[in-house]
């Protein structure tokens, strides 16, 4: 066989092979024309590869719902909502059309503000599978938006019957009653939701609107404080929507998914999605920082410190990363390294007042007080409306016994922060010294509402009643004095000074039995306190029982010896 013949044969075989390959390869162009996206090359490489793979699968199996389903989920998970709508519409034509496809389409329509289409698909989802609670819940949401309150109520009640997180059903019903302007009924339903789950911010938000309309200021303030402990991403767990999560390849969307999972107590799952986000966008300092923070909560390790340092390297002005890195070093006992990192932080991101406040704390801990004071004052100067800055400087000045200036800053904290109890307790003590009992009472009540377990708060509350009662006693207002002392004993029934003074008031009022009962309680609660026995003697003397009074005085003298 001649060499030229061999070359010709090889060429023919090559052409035939290419033709065979071309005939086997699916034609993706029609699929892209029907289901493709614009500017696919603007997405990350992993996204592009998955997109091409899914398009090829649909082209190869045009009569199979499975690859089309995967494409719909891919689009939906990556928030390509209109594109996913188009694919879901094709899926509905298959004989094995699923309830969840209609549910997904309904959720997309709801997100896009198309209530009529949302209603159509969610009704179909319920018709195909009425056991999935959130189909009823979101149907209620659609009816509420359309103003069909009876149908909305019915849907929410259906959700309450079969849904696992009933708090959301109560919120839905509460919103129906708000639409009806039935404020009391709405309040009851929203309070029911918070009994089910006290972390849902939307319930607090709706309650604040109700209390504002009803003019109930006390409840309004209490709910506003409680709302600060709510969770931003708290929402009902949606198992069908979670089936889309693995299809997501958009880093920001992955970070949101991670936050949702973390808020529902599923930190480990959240970390996995956040690690996926970081792998897709390794230069994104915010994602790296978020991963470090989430890892720190679930499993503190050296990796946390490395990730924080990496976030700083990616963005040297990133305040939160600097702050967390310095805190991590300090909590690990690396004080010198923390101070050095703090110095670097204010050099690189010195426009952030929080970093100066943090530096002040570290310098105070190292007993470098002049540097600490400068740092605290710098933080306040930079951002005087940040309550943490005012509080840090106030605490520093208070520790230095510069109380007059500290009080000025504690007053600022009280104005700026509705959830800071310590400043209110300190201000209450200050107002008691000034005999400004009304302002002291306000500060104590605010502190009790925020943190009733705050150290020293109970004693401060009792002291307020004791001092106020004593002032009323000096003024000759026996009834008001008795009321103050009695209020103090309701808080601490064993408070000896209050008991002694209340007995004195009762004796002035000739209420001998009340005086005797209180004096006996003092002796019972404080059997080693001589003053309790002297008070008992005074009661008996007032009653004309000189012998009995003498016996009590003898017991008092023995205790004093």
Which pLDDT does position 25 carry in this prediction? 63
- Residues 377-386: contacts with CB within 8 Å, 24+ apart? 378/353, 379/353, 379/354, 380/353, 380/409, 382/351, 382/353, 382/356, 383/353, 384/412, 385/416, 386/353, 386/354, 386/416
Which pLDDT does position 265 carry in this prediction? 86
Tell me phi and psi for residue 200, to 5 degrees. -85, 110
Sign of CA dihedral 11, 15, 20, 22: positive
Q: Comparing C-alpha atoms, which of 325, 328, 365, 376 is closest to residue 348? A: 325
Sign of CA dihedral 403, 404, 406, 410: positive
| Rounded CA separation 531/481 (Å) | 20
Which pLDDT does position 152 carry in this prediction? 98
CB-neighbour burial class of residue 84 (10 A; exposed 0-12, middle 13-18, buried 19+): buried
Inter-CA distances, 257 with 33, 50, 134, Å = 31, 20, 18
SS3 breakdown of the chain: % helix, strand, coil, rounded to 5?
80, 0, 20
| Rounded CA separation 59/527 (Å) | 92
Tell me phi and psi for residue 231, to 5 degrees. -120, 130
Q: What is the per-residue burial (b if ≥16 Cβ within 10 Å, else e) of 241-259?
A: beebbebbbbbebbbebbb
Helix 353-365 to helix 335-348 angle (10° resolution) is 150
Tokens of 5: 């013949």
| Rounded CA separation 253/80 (Å) | 12
Q: How many CB atoms lie within 10 A of CB 523?
A: 16
| Rounded CA separation 107/173 (Å) | 20
Mean pLDDT by 10 residues, the chain (561 residues): 50 46 68 92 94 96 95 96 96 93 97 96 96 97 97 97 94 97 96 92 91 88 80 81 96 94 89 96 97 87 90 96 96 94 95 96 96 97 97 97 96 94 95 94 92 91 93 92 94 95 94 94 94 94 92 90 70
| Rounded CA separation 382/375 (Å) | 11
| Rounded CA separation 55/74 (Å) | 11
Sign of CA dihedral 250, 251, 254, 259: negative
DSSP class of residue 247 equals G
Q: How many CB atoms lie within 10 A of CB 37?
A: 15
Tokens of 547: 């012998």
% the chain with pLDDT above 70: 95
Contact 438, 464 (CB under 8 A): no
| Rounded CA separation 226/342 (Å) | 34
Q: How far is CA 521 from the centre of its chain?
A: 45
pLDDT in tens, 60-105: 999 999 999 999 999 999 999 999 999 999 999 999 899 999 999 9
Which pLDDT does position 169 carry in this prediction? 96
Tokens of 88: 């879901």
Contact 89, 69 (CB under 8 A): no
| Rounded CA separation 415/423 (Å) | 10
- For the whole prediction, is pTM greater than 0.95? no
Is 342 strand, coil or helix?
helix
Is 472 strand, coil or helix?
helix
Contact 232, 263 (CB under 8 A): yes
Is 308 strand, coil or helix?
helix
Q: Comparing C-alpha atoms, which of 504, 546, 547, 545 is closest to residue 522? A: 504
Which pLDDT does position 504 carry in this prediction? 94
């Amino acid at each position: 066989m001649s060499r030229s013949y061999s070359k010709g044969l090889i060429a023919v075989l090559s052409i035939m092979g290419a033709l065979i390959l071309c005939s086997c390869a699916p034609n993706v162009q029609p699929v892209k024309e029907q289901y493709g996206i614009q500017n696919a090359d603007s997405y990350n490489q992993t996204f592009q590869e998955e997109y091409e793979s899914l398009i090829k699968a649909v082209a190869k199996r045009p009569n199979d719902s499975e690859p089309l389903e995967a494409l719909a989920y891919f689009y939906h998970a990556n928030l390509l909502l209109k594109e996913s709508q188009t694919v879901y519409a094709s899926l509905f034509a298959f004989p094995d059309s699923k309830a969840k496809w209609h549910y997904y389409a309904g959720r997309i329509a709801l997100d896009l503000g198309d209530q009529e289409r949302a209603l159509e698909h969610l009704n179909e989802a319920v018709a195909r599978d009425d056991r999935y609670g959130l189909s009823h819940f979101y149907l209620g949401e659609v009816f509420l938006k359309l103003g069909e309150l009876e149908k909305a109520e019915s849907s929410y009640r259906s959700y309450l019957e079969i849904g696992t997180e009933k708090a959301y059903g109560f919120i839905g019903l509460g919103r129906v009653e708000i639409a009806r302007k039935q404020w009391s009924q709405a309040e009851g339903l929203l309070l029911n939701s918070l009994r089910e789950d006290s972390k849902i911010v939307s319930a607090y938000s709706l309650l604040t609107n109700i209390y504002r309309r009803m003019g109930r200021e006390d409840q309004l303030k209490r709910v506003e404080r409680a709302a600060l402990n709510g969770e931003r991403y708290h929402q009902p767990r949606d198992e069908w929507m979670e089936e889309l999560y693995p299809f997501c390849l958009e880093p920001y969307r992955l970070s949101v998914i991670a936050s949702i999972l973390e808020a529902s107590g599923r930190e480990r799952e959240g970390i996995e999605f956040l690690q996926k986000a970081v792998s897709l966008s390794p230069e994104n300092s915010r994602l790296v920082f978020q991963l470090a923070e989430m890892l720190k909560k679930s499993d503190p390790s050296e990796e946390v410190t490395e990730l924080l340092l990496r976030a700083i390297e990616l963005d040297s002005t990133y305040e939160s990363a600097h702050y967390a890195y310095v805190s991590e070093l300090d909590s690990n006992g690396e004080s010198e390294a923390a101070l050095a990192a703090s110095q670097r932080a204010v050099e690189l991101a010195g426009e952030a007042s929080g970093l100066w406040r943090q530096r002040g704390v570290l310098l105070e801990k190292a007993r470098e007080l002049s540097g600490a004071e400068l740092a605290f004052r710098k933080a306040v100067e930079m951002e005087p409306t940040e309550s943490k800055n005012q509080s840090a400087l106030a605490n520093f000045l208070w520790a230095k016994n510069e109380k007059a200036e500290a009080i000025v800053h504690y007053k600022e904290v009280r104005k700026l922060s509705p959830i800071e109890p310590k400043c209110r307790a300190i201000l209450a003590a200050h107002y008691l010294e000034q005999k400004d009992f009304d302002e002291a009472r306000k500060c104590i009540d605010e502190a009790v509402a925020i943190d009733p377990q705050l150290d020293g708060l109970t004693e401060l509350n009792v002291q307020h009643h004791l001092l106020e009662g004593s002032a009323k006693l000096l003024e000759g207002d026996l009834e008001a004095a008795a009321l103050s002392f009695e209020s103090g004993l309701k808080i601490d029934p064993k408070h000896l000074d209050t008991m002694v003074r209340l007995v004195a008031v009762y004796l002035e009022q000739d209420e001998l039995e009340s005086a005797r009962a209180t004096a006996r309680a003092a002796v019972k609660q404080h059997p080693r306190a001589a003053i309790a026995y002297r008070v008992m003697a005074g009661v008996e003397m007032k009653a004309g029982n000189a012998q009995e009074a003498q016996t009590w005085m003898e017991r008092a003298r023995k205790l004093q010896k």
